[in-house]
Amino acid sequence: MPKIITSRHRESETGRARLYIKSRLMLPTIPLAMVTLLTGYGSLAFMWFQDTLTLQALLASTALFVVGAIFGWAHVRYERYLVRTCPEYLARKHKLLEAAKEYKRPKRDLPNGGPHHRGRRVALLGYAVSILTMLAMSVTLADRVGVYPAFFLPWAGYFNAKVIFWRELFAQRSSP
């Protein structure tokens, strides 16, 4: 009997973790993906209308978008890993945010630390490397593609990759 309760509790935490990712991380990501995509490629379209778009600028903008998409894909992989290995961390964050929305005090026994797993330091290093890489590429390629595409296209790739690779969160499921 305890195994059934434990497995249902784990399913409940996994469901709350997925709900947290859907409501707190993915829903704000969709408008950000659209704004960054339209701003980045809108600026390239403006360059095209002015007949100043070169092949070098097009290839550089594609590289910026692809690098951002790779980092977005990697972040989704890490979020899926968190849902799979320590859903209690994300479920706890969801519970705290819901309690704050209802003006309830959180319980004192809830720890405030991050998720505890083996690759936590690697993940933090990955975040820092990805942000610094996108920033360095943006600064380096700003003179070739323009300021708006240089700074918006990596984020457009990042946010659009997150939306694409987390799309199963928005699929309708029939739960028993």
Q: Which of 14-28, 95-109, 123-137 has the lowest mean pLDDT?
A: 95-109
- List of residues 6+ apart from 125 with CB closer than 8 A: none
Q: Which of 97, 117, 96, 98 is nearest to 108 (CA)?
A: 96
What's the DSSP call for residue 50? T
In the numeric block, which tokens belong to residue 74? Answer: 């990697």
Better-scored residue on pLDDT, 157 or 166: 157
For the cut 50, the answer to whether the pLDDT of residue 84 exceeds it is yes
pLDDT recorded at residue 94: 72
Predicted TM-score (pTM) of this structure: 0.80
